[in-house]
Each structure stands twice: as structure tokens, then as C-alpha cells.
Chain A
Amino acid sequence: MNLRTGEGGRGWVIGSLLACLVVAVPVLVIFSSVFRSSDGEWNHLAETLLPTYASNTGLLAGGVCLVAGIVGVSTAWILTNCRFRGARMLGWAQLLPLSVPAYLSAYAMADLLQFSGPVQGWIRDSFDLQAGDYWFPPIRSLGGAVYVLSFALYPYVYFAARMAFQEQARSMLEAGRLLGRGPFATFWFVALPLARPAIVGGLMLVMMETVADFGAVDHLAVDTFATGIYRTRFALESPVAASQLSAMLLSALFLLVGLEWCLRRRRRYHRTGNRGSRTAGGRLGPVASMFAFAACFVPVLIGFVVPTGRLLQLAIARGDARGGGVLAGIAFDTIWLALAASVIAVLLALVIGYAARLRRGLRTAGPATIARAGYAIPGPVIALGLLVPLGWIDHRINDGWTIAFGDDWRPGLLLTGSVVAMLIGYQTRFLAVSLSFVQSGFQRIHRNIDDAARTLGSGPGRSLVSIHLPLLRRSLLIAGLVVFVDVAKELPMTLMLRPFNFDTLAVRVYELASDERLEEAATAAILIVVIGLIPAWLLVGQLESNDDSHRNTDG
């Protein structure tokens, strides 16, 4: 009898199907809008703003992927294969930009580089110039957005490429050299093609984050789909047209994700050799060391040191005048909201992951795939997709109440007017994150353990509680922490779904920065950066342990 296909897991399968509804429902709602009338709003958008949204989003995503790809892959290669003073420190420093959300980076960079900022002010004072006497690249432009987002997001590519380069067997690269290729040709023809699936995975994350970004592009005055959806919903007050815009964006995203998935399946690489011990390559000479250091330090400087330094400077110099009371309250609200969202995300991921482990097949693999797709859905799209069904449920509750108890009092907007909508929205987007950690945790537990527990009389529930949960403790903790941080940083969905008089740190920063009050926003911004350091620190640990496990012990 095959225990994995036994009847015991039926409850888990049903639970898994229900859990994936948090992703499936908003998507279905968005796509159903295609068949609804927008009273001419869609035609108006198609004739005026849609081409701008589409071209800006495409150019932004392409530009960011290109720059982040070059920076991420080259730093990963240098730090995996070259030895020079400071390389180890730079290795973990590459992940620091992850702690600065793109919108914070945009606020700091715009503040520094705009006409009235300190950089241009210094240039004018130093060279005795007036406005119009010189040219300075405008930060509030498509190029400026590419610059800011690339250096905020390149660590995704760096991390994926670094892990892939660390995993490559040393003998593979040495074979390339012995077959007549120089160091660069070996990188280009051997290492890069082998790391391609991982690098493409990292680039897909960068692309999704870019397309989903609202705060940075909004501040840098670049009209993309994300800002378009927000404005169509709240300025034009046309939820149907906004949903139709979202459907268009989602179709393009799903097409790209599907394409990448197909390519990855077709070109699946099988390891033919040992994982191989890896040494960092030869020690570089003084000049080469200097170039390598500069190549790896500049991205950290732009992505972390400069924006954080500016925000810190503003926070110390002025800070939030209402800091004490208001900020503490907002920080408290942010923390309990993020905590609640992360606990729910871990529980849902546990249900989906365990169901997939108990039973293999479409009924369990399907929910896992749907849940993973949630990360590709931009925040504003999720918010729109949730407002419609939750609003409908709220109305039905109120109608039912009126019929049952009369018209004297109504419960009001129970779902759309409370944090419940936000908590559901966070699951739609971040369930994918917790699921990936939970599933990788499950993969590390040999399946014989399940079989042993089942033959000793444990049902699926008891096996999970007494065997799997203790073994998964670390994975669950990391999953919870990463979701916690993602929720604490999240902006567009929070902005659209939050109840009245409910702010998070991200919303507070957005509102103050939008009013050109960055000095006051800086304190909350620094708190977000501090929270954001948690996943960066976790990833550093993962890179270091991966590096240690491949370090050469050959005599």
C-alpha cells in the first residue's frame, strides 16, 4: 500500500484548495472585468494614456533587468572567483540594498540629485553656474527610475548567480581552461550558460518587483501600469477600467512567467559530475584588486550607503516632529499587522506544502503553483481584485442583517473597511514567499520519515505535529520573518486597502514624502530599513554556509 496516496490526506487537500483561493479569487475577478462595460473609460484610456503606460512599463522593466543583470552577475562572478582584500565583507554587503525598499531609495536619490538638492547645489556653487548653464541627468525621468530600481533590486540577481556559481563544480571550469579557453571565455561559454536558469530566475524576480513598484515610479513621475491602475481607480473613480488595465498587465506577466517556465523545463540541466569543492580563484594583484573592489563596492554605495546615509542624516538633523507618540503608534500597528500576516502566511503555506507532500497530483500541485503565481501580481492589482468580492460579501451581510433584524443598525463594511482585507491581500502576494521556504524545508526531510511515522500508527496530522513541525522549525521561522519584513515594507496594496485612520510605516513615509516633507519621513524610513536588514542578514547566512560547504579541502 502506498501510504502517500492513502485516504488520510483528504482534509489537507481540501484545505490546500481553499488556501489557494486567496490568490485565485482576485485573479478571476480581474479577468472577469474584461467582459464588463467601463462606460467609455477604457476607450478613453486606450486612446490617451495606455500607450504611455505600456511603453514606460516595458522600457522600465527591460532597462532595470539589463542593468541589474549586468551588475548582479558581474559582482557574483568576481566575488566567487577572485581573492582580494575586502572580498568577504563585500560578499555580504551586496545584499544590503535589499533592506532599502525602492521607494525609499527613490525619495533619497531624488532629494540628493534634484535641482534644489545638495549635489546640484554644490555644482552650481563650485563652478559659479546658474540654472540652464549646465546639464544634469534628470532624476525624475524614466532613466532615473531605471537607475534607482536597478541598484535597489540587483541583489536578487546577485544572490541567484552567486549561489549558482558556488554550486558549479570546479572541475567544470578547469576543463574549460584546459580545453583552450581563457578566463573570460570560460566564464562566458561555461559558467554563464550553466548558471543561466538561476540568473533568469533572479531576473524574473527583478522584473516582477519593477512592474509591481508604485512608490518609486510615482515619486519619479514615470507613468507605468502600477500608477495608472491606482489613478484610474481613485482619480478617475473607474474600478472597471482599472481592473481591465490590471487584466492586461497580468496577461503580459503570466505570459512571461509561463515562457520562462517552459524554457527552464526544456533546458533542464543535469549534473554529471560531483558538486565539487570550490576555491576562490587566484589572489589578484594590486591593480586588479583595486578594480575588483571598486566594481563590487559602487553598487553597494548607490544601492545602500547613499540612500541610507541621506535618510539617516535627515532623521538626525530634523526627524519626525510628531515622532514620539504618533510614530510609536504607527510602528506598533505595523508590527502587529506584519506579525498577523506572517503567521497566517506560514499556516497556509504549511497546509499547501503538506498536502503536496502527502499526495502527488494536480489537486495538490495545482494549489501550490497558483499560490506561487501570487508573487507575480502587483499590489494595486491584488487590491482591486479583492475590493470587488469583499465589497459584495459586505453588502450581502448588511442586506441579510436588515432582513433579519431591521434597518435600525447595520454592521457596516466588515471586510473592506477593516484590516481583514489587508491581511487577505498580503496572503495573495506573499504566500508564495512563505511557501517556497516551507517546501524547501519539506524537501530536506526524507520521505522515508513519513512512511516510518505512518507505519508506526501516526496519521497525517499527528505526523505533521510530532515529526515534521520540529524538523521544519527553522524553515517556518525564516518564512515568517521574510513575510513579516515584506508586509512591513509593502506600500501600494496597503495604501489601497487600509481602513481610515490606519497607517503603517510605509504609508506614513509615502504621505510625508509626497508632501515634500522628506525630513519628517526619514525617521519612519530608517525604521523600515532596520526591519529590512533581517532578510538581508538571513540571506548572508545562507550564502556563507553555501560557500563554506564548497570550500576546498583538497590536499
Chain B
Amino acid sequence: MMTSLPQYDPPSVLEIRDLEFAYGGGAPVIEGCHLAVRSGEVHCLLGCSGGGKTTLLRLIAGLERARAGTIHVGDSLIEGPGVHLPPERRSVGMVFQDFALFPNRSVRENVVFGLRGISRKDRNAQVEAHLDRVGMLEFASRMPHTLSGGQQQRVAIARALVRQPRVMLLDESFSSLDTETRIEVRAETVKLLRDAAVATVMVTHDPAEAEAVGDKVSWLDACCRRGESDPDACARR
């Protein structure tokens, strides 16, 4: 008689529990939020404007400080009561809506910015490898303003990935691209992030986009702000 093997359920790389946040002393923007993202998984966050999607990314990145709750990356507690690891020590990468490429640095200089403490040779090798992965090696010496939106997006991805983060945050990173480029760049990016086994949280306002690329989709208004405690209740496949 054949017995089926139990399905392997990898542990979450990013785990958020009971997170709460408010600007100043105001009403909570995020309340009782739970989220768990595994390695190589893409978790999409949907919600209306002001729903707290970007705020949640900023909390994960360490750019805001939570009022309550915890955030773990792997086994490390990066945010919790009395704990606030600064952004530069979190192993979290982020691609901003406006890409935030440094306009006074070339493509190569942008990507190399995040690499420190290794030899020049290794640094160059890593930069070239990552630019090659996103198809931007031939543009290495160009300045950001000479690139198209899609090309700038690729550079921003390479710059974030070169530090080998365990978690990647995409903040409406495809919204400024035209439809055709968006679909193409989005597919490439998601493939790249899955191949690199990075846990990805992606903010989008487009349900179709969330369905297309997300392994899980959360509707932030409906769950986190209302304070539902069961992660599965606000995450559906």
C-alpha cells in the first residue's frame, strides 16, 4: 500500500506578528497585522490608497518604527518591543516606485554603492554579474537619466539584489512603466527573485497584477486594519 509523503512546508523567511503602527499619536494605520512569506515566494499586497500598504513595507525595511508587534527575518528579530534594527542591517532590499537611482552616479556606481568590505576585484565581478542578469551590462557606464523607465527599473533591481537580501520589497515598482514594458519587466523581475530564492513582498493597486505574479495576495484594508489574527484569513491563493 502506498502512503503519500508529508508535503515539505519550508519555514517563513519573513514573519510579521500582531504589527501595529500609527503616525504620531494618531489612529492606527496598521493594526494586528500578520504576514508570513517563504523563500522564493511572492506575496502581493492590495488595498486602496491610504490603506497602509507602503507603510507596511517601510516598517519591514526599518524606515518606520512599529508601535507593537514583531518582525522576524529568518531567526532574527528585527523589529519588536525594544528592538529596532536600522535599515542598513536588515538584509532587506527595496525597489521604490520612482526607482530612487542616484542621479549623480553611473549605472555601475549605483549598483556598486551597496557593496562594501570586499576586494575591488570581487566587487566588480559581482556588479557585472548582476548587471548581466538584468541585461544592463552594456549600459554600465551610462547615467540614469539616459535610460528608459524599464531600464532604470532593471538597474534598481540589480542594485537591490547585489547585496543578496533575504527579503525584497517592491513598492508599486512597475506602475510608472507602460503596459507592454510593465508585463515584460514584471515577469523578468519575478523570475529573477524566485531564482534568487528571495522572499518578496510586492505592493500593487492592480488586482490583475497581483493575481498574475503573487503566490499569495493580501487585501490590506480588509484584514490588517481590522485586526484579523489568522494569517490565512487575509491571505488567499
Chain B residues with a Cβ under 8 A of chain A: 29, 49-52, 54-55, 61-63, 65, 86-88, 90, 92-94, 96-104, 113-114, 116, 143-145, 152, 159-160, 163
Contacts and interface: CB of A to CB of B under 8 A. Distances in A.
* Contact residues of B: prevailing secondary structure: loop
A182 interface: yes
A273 B54 CA distance: 17
Contact of B102 (A180, A190, A274, A554): A190
Given A189-B113, A555-B51, A273 B99 contact: yes
Given A178-B92, A179-B163, A272 B104 contact: no
B104 A175 contact: no
Which 4 A-B pairs have CB atoms at the shortest separation, nearest pair first? A273-B98, A270-B145, A555-B50, A179-B114
B96 A175 contact: yes
A555 B49 CA distance: 8
Contacts of B50: 555
A274 B96 CA distance: 10
26 contacts: A169-B100, A171-B97, A171-B98, A171-B100, A174-B100, A175-B102, A175-B159, A177-B63, A177-B86, A178-B93, A179-B88, A179-B163, A180-B114, A180-B116, A180-B163, A182-B88, A194-B102, A196-B104, A272-B100, A272-B144, A272-B145, A272-B152, A274-B98, A276-B98, A282-B65, A555-B29
Interface string A265-302: 00101111110100000100000000000000000000
Contacts of B143: 270
B49 A179 contact: no
Contacts of B93: 178
A181 B86 CA distance: 10
Contacts of B144: 270, 272
A271 B93 CA distance: 22
Nearest to B176: A274
A271 to B, nearest CB: 6
Contacts of A274: 97-98
A520 to B, nearest CB: 53
A178 B102 CA distance: 13
A178 B94 contact: yes
A171 B116 CA distance: 21
A194 B87 contact: no
B159 A272 contact: no
B159 A554 contact: no
Contacts of B49: 555
Nearest to B23: A555
Given A174-B96, A270-B144, A272-B101, A554 B54 contact: yes
Nearest to A197: B104
Q: Which of B65, B98, B101, B160 has the most CB of A within 10 A?
A: B98
B101 A180 contact: no
Interface string A94-125: 00000000000000000000000000000000
A174 B61 contact: yes
Interface in A528-555: 554-555
Contacts of B114: 179-180
Nearest to A194: B104
A424 interface: no
Given A180-B88, A181-B88, A554-B55, A272 B63 contact: no
Nearest to A555: B50
B14 to A, nearest CB: 15
Interface string A156-184: 00000000000001011011111111100
Contact of B103 (A176, A272, A555): A272
B163 to A, nearest CB: 6
Given A272-B152, A555-B55, A169 B98 contact: yes
A161 to B, nearest CB: 16
Nearest to B92: A178
Contacts of B55: 554-555
Nearest to A179: B114
B221 to A, nearest CB: 11
A408 to B, nearest CB: 72
Given A272-B101, A273-B100, 8 more contacts: A174-B100, A175-B159, A178-B160, A179-B160, A182-B88, A269-B103, A271-B103, A272-B100
A175 B50 CA distance: 22
B102 A172 contact: yes
Contacts of B101: 272-273
A172 B104 CA distance: 11
A436 B143 CA distance: 30
A193 interface: yes
Contacts of B159: 175, 179
A190 B114 CA distance: 12
Given A174-B63, A180-B114, A193 B104 contact: yes
A187 to B, nearest CB: 13
Interface in A225-280: 267, 269-274, 276
Given A180-B116, A267-B104, A272 B51 contact: no
